[in-house]
Amino acid sequence: MEQAGTDRRWTLGDFGQVRTLREPAVSPDGRRVAVVVDAFRDQEDDRVAALYVVAADGSSAPHRLTQGAEGVKAPQWSPDGRYLGFIAARPPAASWPSPLGEGRPDDGSGKPPREGAGPKPQVWAFDMVEGGEPAPLTNQPEGVAAFEWSPDGRQLAIAARTPSPAQAAYLAAIRKPRHPGPWVITRPQSKRDGEGYLDDVPTHLFRVDVSTAAVLQLTDGDASEEDPHWSPDGTWVMFRSNRTGRADLNACVDLWMVAGVGGAARRLTHGDVSVSSAAFSPDGRSVALVSPLDPNTGYTPSHLMRVSTDDATPVEQLARLGVGFSRTEGVVPPLAPGADPVANGRVGPRPERQTPRHVLTQGAPGPLRSAPHWVDDRHVLALLADHGPARLVRVDTEAGGFQQVAPHDRVGTMEGLAHRGGTTVVIVNRPETAGELYRVDPGGTLAALTTFNRHAFEGRAVPHHRWVQFRNPDQDQVEGVLVTPVQAAGALPLIVVPHGGPQAADALTFRFDHQYWAGLGYAVLLVNYRGSVSYGPDWQGVIRGDWGPREHADLMAGVDHLVAEGIADPARLFLTGFSYGGVMTNWAVGHTGRFAAAASEHGMWDYASMFGHGDTDPHWQDGWGVPWQNPEGYRRSSPLSAADGLTTPLLITAGEHDWRCPVAQAEALYAAAIRRGVPAELVVYPGEHHAWQSRPSRARDRIRRITAWFHRYGGPADDAEDSGSP
């Protein structure tokens, strides 16, 4: 890509200047677009979100609607376009009649909020004709997770947690600010990152009258129902739900429908899918859904599929679980002599029948990266990952197959999509702009609708970004992204940054840390090694149950290529990765001594000790079975297996409350490094989960420490920072 800007590089003080856009929503007439914009605040040291509206024809600048510091998500226009609904945990509204109906509740319970208890996320709505403050439309005790307007705009379908009296008492006990009660776990999965210890409270569906606030519960029972969508005629509410009875142990997420007045229910899929999103066709006769072909493995790409609503089967008792499966319990039997422990540990549900589905994206190189958006009764728009970036494609739901809509030069990636009223918009993330909102015109040309990040990039020396290709030891072609300084002469110090996932991929996009390091004089290499998505199912699935050697070989092939080309200095090689990138860092430092220093961020070290301790047990079980039946398999794939090879100076970071890659993994790695005589430091961030950009101070500290650690072992320093030591 061409160089932009002048000679002003990014500094740590610049972190937080770049805005992030998400969740675009087009008005029914196609004339306006709502979008959520995330920003950091330095003084408050937090991250906030605001709701904006912009004219789809680009005739006016974005207008900010929300001003508070609360989170905002899920903007959605009412069918007549007058109201813009959204979910936010806003303070209770004043006791004043709502423009959407007289006598709506002001704070819900009629009681003042409990001291120290923040507001729950509820559905709010702006009157986009008369203006004014948003009005609350819901008042659920545990908040609202998702909502959708009914086709006539008079009702909402919402998904909300519904504790029983006993569960409500338990929640009150564990939420006491002083001396809370104990966590009591009865479900198979005990924790989830970002949430902590889990309870048994299910999420159910409700119908809410917009004018009167009257609430009708549509579903009940022990399973949860999520992501409600009205049928175009307003008769049914479609939802996603795992109704095997053991939802923590499998990913069989099916599509169901319940009558909008309650009572009757139907089933659209039959246990052979794991639906992440779905949408009715305009005529209501079809549903487009996104699911992998195998619901119980994370190593196959998701596809766009179509099912017919005519094939939906009646459900007599929706609350009854396990119907339609010959096995649902997920119990691992004792291992018979000579049996395969991996196969023995794969005990997912067995559906009794197959869904009559049409797979529309067979042959696609990668997974779907968006929900489906119907253009007409036959065609759907979606984002599809293709050799790194995601592209906009148009899918024929009758004939199958997909066609790229917008021309793509592989610079940037599409991260958000919305279509309505004949208007299509996408969010495109490029290295020289970060994410901005664009309208897709006929012929696929893109017209910019926002420039939120223009000032951040003015006069900025944006490093060079380009694709590189090289061969791994098996002679496969591997791709990577190379970021280099504006002014580069001779062999450069190199930072290799393996991506997370492992089911992810890198593209030419904006990343603050990568551009910051390039500004200091580093080259930065990102490799889409085997296991990465968007390069075909074989490339993605080959590491199933065998993490480490292939990814490492591909990473080192990239390093060898850059050294041979004279781009990278072999004496100044550095390595850092977060999450699965941390896993690959831990693997590398046990298998090579070529890196001058490394920084392992929120990674894993010993897979057997991960089982039952984090929130990824189904992933382990799918790849390796259970650790008591396959201890050698777990050990062979763990970076721990090469602990005797540790020689690389190692900075190790972790989050105190990270339940994806728990802090114990970092502590065990640190203990091994110290006992091997390796220079090492362990940094644990209090209260942090599996994230590094939760607050500006956290993000800056992370980048500052890694930079200083690499400088200690021969890398460039940031003269504007105290980089002598972390």
Give residue 117's pLDDT.
Answer: 62
Q: What is the mean pLDDT of residues 116-127?
A: 88
What pLDDT does 104 receive? Answer: 45
Q: How far apart are CA 14 and CA 459, in angstroms?
A: 13
Residues 42-52 as b or e (16 or more Cβ within 10 Å = b): eeeeebbbbbb
Give CA–CA dist 374/75, Å, rounded. Answer: 18
Q: Is the pLDDT of residue 285 over 60?
A: yes
pLDDT digits (tens, 9 = 90+) for 396-426: 999 999 999 987 789 999 999 999 999 999 9
Residue 352's nearest CA partner among 286, 459, 271, 429 is 271
**Phi, psi dihedrals of residue 393, rounded to the nearest 5°:** -125, 155
pLDDT at residue 365 is higher than 50: yes
Nearest 10 degrees: CA dihedral of 285, 291, 296, 297? 160
Q: Report the distance separating Cα 452 and Cα 357, nearest Å.
A: 42
Separation between Cα atoms, residue 688 and residue 406, nearest integer Å: 39
Pairing of strands 302-308, 325-327: unpaired
Residue 140 pLDDT grade (very low, low, confident, very high; cuts 50, 70, 90): very high
pLDDT of residue 329: 81
Mean pLDDT calculated for residue range 168-178: 96
Nearest to 200 by CA among 167, 245, 169: 167
Q: In which band, very low, low, confident or very high, does the pLDDT at 71 lie, cut at 50, 70 and 90? A: confident
Q: Tell me, what's the pLDDT at 230? A: 98
Q: Domain ranges for the chain, please list them.
A: 163-200, 457-712
Higher pLDDT, 543 or 719: 543
Confidence of residue 720 (pLDDT cuts 50, 70, 90): confident
Which residues 6+ apart lie within 8 Å of 119 measured at CB?
A: 70, 89, 90, 91, 92, 113
| pLDDT (0 to 100) of residue 489 | 85
What mean pLDDT is predicted for residues 230-235?
98
Residue partners of 372: CB distance under 8 A and separation at least 6: 277, 278, 279, 288, 289, 290, 304, 380, 381, 382, 395
Task: Give the Cα separation of 481 and 16 in Å (integer).
Answer: 24
For residue 112, pLDDT beyond 80:
no
Under the banding of pLDDT at 50, 70 and 90, the label for residue 108 is very low
Of 372, 383, 162, nearest in space to 276 by CA: 372
Q: Which residues contact 18 (CB under 8 A, 6 or more apart)?
A: 434, 453, 456, 510, 512
pLDDT mean across residues, the chain: 94
Could you say which DSSP state residue 637 is in?
H
Whole-number pLDDT of residue 118: 82
Percent of the chain with pLDDT over 70: 95
- For residue 583, the surrounding DSSP H or E stretch is helix 580-591
User: Per-residue pLDDT tens for 578-611?
Assistant: 999 999 999 999 999 999 999 999 999 999 999 9
Residue 330 confidence class, pLDDT cut points 50, 70, 90? confident
* Average pLDDT score over residue span 628-641: 98
1 has a pLDDT exceeding 50: no
Tell whether the model's pLDDT for residue 2 goes beyond 70.
Answer: no
Q: Integer distance in angstroms from the first to the last C-alpha of the chain?
A: 34
pLDDT band at 103 (very low <50, low <70, confident <90, very high): very low
Q: What is the mean pLDDT of residues 497-509?
A: 96
Q: Which band of pLDDT confidence, cut at 50, 70 and 90, is reported for residue 93?
A: low
Quick one: what percent of the chain has pLDDT higher than 90?
A: 91
Strand partners, 191: 197
- The pLDDT score that the predictor gives to residue 6 is 60
Q: 24 pLDDT exceeds 60?
A: yes
Instruction: Give the pLDDT of residue 5.
Output: 44
Lowest mean pLDDT among 80-94, 198-212, 434-448: 80-94
Residue 196 has pLDDT above 90, yes or no: yes
Given a cut of 60, whether residue 83 has pLDDT beyond it is: yes
For residues 645 and 442, the model is more confident at 645
Overall average pLDDT of the 712-718 stretch: 96
Question: How many CB atoms within 10 Å of residue 705?
Answer: 19
- Which CATH fold topology does 457-712 show? Rossmann fold (3.40.50)
Residue 109 in this model has a pLDDT that exceeds 70 = no
Question: What is the pLDDT confidence band of residue 662, given thresholds at 50, 70 and 90?
Answer: very high
